[in-house]
């Protein structure tokens, strides 16, 4: 950000000590960042490292005295277990479907919000409510809606059906809850992306006789690509760690548990810190891989590069 004029300025004013000024600036910069960096290392890097250490031990909280080093055995146990692969499959399915639906729905929402002629403020405020509302609250709202006898949505189903107790319907409802809650976030990011598309370009295409679909596909979407990729990256990483909705809606029963639910269960139901930590590390690796794939494959602007691009 610091414009080159500044350095030139300094050099003109203090010909003797530009390097001293630069040194002081460096020191101040590092000093101001130090507390934040120390806290981040203490609350993130250290626990992750510790999780790695724990994951190499046999460590069951019911028998703490028997804790001992087992090397990679916990990883072996997790990776050869069908439970892990099923949870991973469910998580990937929920992530892919909900992000895809959110992208389509979010784009539609963004287009409506951009054109909103009446009460644009009202529409935006309304759309922000799902973003702000506590996930657990939203999940309960959906749970009650689908509970036979209590809910308005369950009443629409044939008598005797309890969608939350069957695997596929329950997964569908989890996706629905996730989509409802986060589509507005997607829509707002896409709306900001739409704002980057110059009006003249769209109008020029219109004059040339392009239909709405053609304008969207050939003009608007390519120009929005950076915004779309960033929104997709954010939402994919976010959806992959889904926990609250599943915990409330099904508790992870009937084969609806995500990897986060699996980690939680191993820790707090089975009290197995070793296995739980191995799952924690594996989830961390999955998320890192997703981020890597996005950055490498799709060329999402690497975070932190913006200042230099300006």
Partner 1 sequence: MSTRRTRTLAGWTIADLAVVLYALFPVWWIVALSFKDPATLTDGDFVPRRWTWANYRGIFETSEFTRALVNSIGIAVISTTIAVVLGTMAAYAVARLRFPGKRLLIGISLLIAMFPPISLVSPLFDIERALGLFDTWAGLVIPYMTFSLPLAIYTLSAFFREIPWDLEKAAKVDGATPWQAFRLVIAPLAAPGVLTTAILVFIFCWNDFLFAISLTSTTAARTVPAAIAFFTGSSQFEQPTGSIAAAAVIITIPIVIFVLLFQRRIVAGLTAGAVKG
Q: Which stretch binds partner 1 (CB under 8 A): 76-84, 92-100, 143-151, 207-215?
A: 143-151
Find the binding residues for partner 1 in span 70-99 (CB under 8 A): none
Which of 144, 168, 212, 298 is close enough to bind partner 1 by CB under 8 A?
A: 144
Instruction: State the angle between helix axes of 167-195 and 120-132 in degrees (0 to 180), rounded to the nearest 10.
Output: 140
Total residues in contact with partner 1, by rule CB under 8 A:
109
Q: How far is the CB of 160 from partner 1 (least distance, A)?
A: 16
Per-position b or e across 149-165, b if 16+ CB within 10 A of its CB: eebeebeeeeeeeebbe
Q: What are phi and psi of 68, to 5 degrees?
A: -155, 165
Residue 145 found at the interface with partner 1 (CB under 8 A): yes
Give CA–CA dist 223/227, Å, rounded: 9
Neighbouring residues of 293: CB distance < 8 A, sequence distance ≥ 6:
none
Q: How far is the CB of 171 from partner 1 (least distance, A)?
A: 19
Q: Which stretch binds partner 1 (CB under 8 A): 72-80, 93-101, 124-132, 199-207?
A: 124-132
> E strands along the chain, which residues?
57-58, 68-69
Q: What are phi and psi of 58, to 5 degrees?
A: -85, 110
Residue 137 found at the interface with partner 1 (CB under 8 A): yes
Binding marks (x or -) toward partner 1, 190..229, rule CB under 8 A?
Answer: -xxx--x-----------------------------xx--
Find the binding residues for partner 1 in span 169-188 (CB under 8 A): 180, 184-185, 188
Which of 18, 130, 169, 255 is close enough to bind partner 1 by CB under 8 A?
A: 130
Residue 17 found at the interface with partner 1 (CB under 8 A): no
Q: Which stretch binds partner 1 (CB under 8 A): 75-83, 122-130, 163-171, 203-211?
A: 122-130
Residue 56 found at the interface with partner 1 (CB under 8 A): no
Q: How far is the CB of 149 from partner 1 (least distance, A)?
A: 5
Which of 171, 248, 250, 252 is close enough to bind partner 1 by CB under 8 A?
A: 248
Residue 293 found at the interface with partner 1 (CB under 8 A): no
Residue 62 found at the interface with partner 1 (CB under 8 A): no
Residue 165 found at the interface with partner 1 (CB under 8 A): no
Which of 82, 121, 158, 160 is close enough to bind partner 1 by CB under 8 A?
A: 121
Q: Could you identify the residue written with the tokens 């950076």?
A: 226
* 170, 249 contact by CB (below 8 A): yes
Give CA–CA dist 101/257, Å, rounded: 21
Distances (CA, A) of 263 to 49, 52, 78, 270, 279: 17, 14, 11, 10, 6
Torsion of the alpha carbons at 155, 158, 160 and 166, rounded to the nearest 10 = -100
Q: Which stretch binds partner 1 (CB under 8 A): 75-83, 158-166, 201-209, 241-249?
A: 241-249
The span from the first CA to the last CA of the chain, in angstroms, equals 8
């Amino acid at each position: 950000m610091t414009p080159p004029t500044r350095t030139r300025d300094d050099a003109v004013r203090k010909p003797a000590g530009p390097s001293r000024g630069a040194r002081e600036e460096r020191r101040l910069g590092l000093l101001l960042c130090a507390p934040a960096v120390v806290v981040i290392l203490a609350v993130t890097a250290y626990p992750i490292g510790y999780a790695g250490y724990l994951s190499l031990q046999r460590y069951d909280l019911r028998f703490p005295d028997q804790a001992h080093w087992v090397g990679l055995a916990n990883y072996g146990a997790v990776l050869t277990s069908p439970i892990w692969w099923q949870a991973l499959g469910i998580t990937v399915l929920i992530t892919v479907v909900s992000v895809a639906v959110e992208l389509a729905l979010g784009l539609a929402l963004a287009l409506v919000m951009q054109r909103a002629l009446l009460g644009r403020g009202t529409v935006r405020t309304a759309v922000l409510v799902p973003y702000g509302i506590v996930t657990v609250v939203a999940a309960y709202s959906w749970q009650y809606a689908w509970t036979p006898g209590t809910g308005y949505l369950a009443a629409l189903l044939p008598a005797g059906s309890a969608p939350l107790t069957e695997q596929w319907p329950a997964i569908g409802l989890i996706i629905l809850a996730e989509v409802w809650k986060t589509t507005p976030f997607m829509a707002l990011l896409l709306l900001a992306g739409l704002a980057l598309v110059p009006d003249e370009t769209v109008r020029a295409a219109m004059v040339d006789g392009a239909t709405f679909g053609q304008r969207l596909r050939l003009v608007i979407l390519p120009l929005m690509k950076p915004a779309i990729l960033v929104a997709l990256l954010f939402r994919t990483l976010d959806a992959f760690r889904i926990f609250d909705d599943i915990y409330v809606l099904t508790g992870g029963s009937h084969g609806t548990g995500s990897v986060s639910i699996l980690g939680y269960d191993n820790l707090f139901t089975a009290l197995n810190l070793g296995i739980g930590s191995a799952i924690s590390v594996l989830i961390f690796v999955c998320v890192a891989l997703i981020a890597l794939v996005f950055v490498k494959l799709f060329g999402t602007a690497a975070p932190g590069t913006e200042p230099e691009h300006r």
